[in-house]
């Protein structure tokens, strides 16, 4: 899988999770992360932003696992785990 595809998938995953998150802080953080991945993907596609919040993605109920690569993705995964921990505590 290409880096571009991985970034688009991560952006879509974050946006989908933001739609179903019940905590506004988590929703905002996931949307910011989705936009970050979208911008990184655009850098691999001559600056063209990929669609990450299309109507088709809202109807899907399953989440596709993506194997991220690189330090940014490891930090994002750590942020996501930390956010999930906060959500469980509330």
For residue range 36-80, list pLDDT tens digits in order: 999 999 999 999 999 998 544 443 433 444 455 555 566 666 676
- pLDDT band at residue 18, thresholds of 50, 70 and 90? very high
- CB-CB contact of 58 with 17 (8 Å): no
Calculate the alpha carbon distances from 26 to 2, 4, 15 in Å. 28, 25, 11
Separation of CA 53 from chain center = 11
Q: Which residue has the higher pLDDT, 57 or 30?
A: 30
Dihedral angle over CA of 27, 28, 34, 36, nearest 10 = -160
> Percent of the chain at pLDDT above 70?
60
């Amino acid at each position: 899988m290409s880096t571009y595809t991985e970034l688009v998938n991560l952006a879509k995953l974050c946006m989908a999770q933001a739609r179903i998150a019940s905590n506004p802080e988590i929703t905002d953080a996931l949307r910011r992360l989705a936009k970050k991945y979208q911008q990184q993907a655009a850098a691999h596609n001559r600056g063209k932003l990929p669609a990450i919040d299309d109507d088709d993605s809202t109807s899907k109920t399953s989440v596709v696992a993506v194997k991220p690569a690189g330090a940014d993705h490891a930090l994002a995964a750590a942020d996501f785990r930390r956010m999930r921990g906060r959500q469980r505590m509330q």
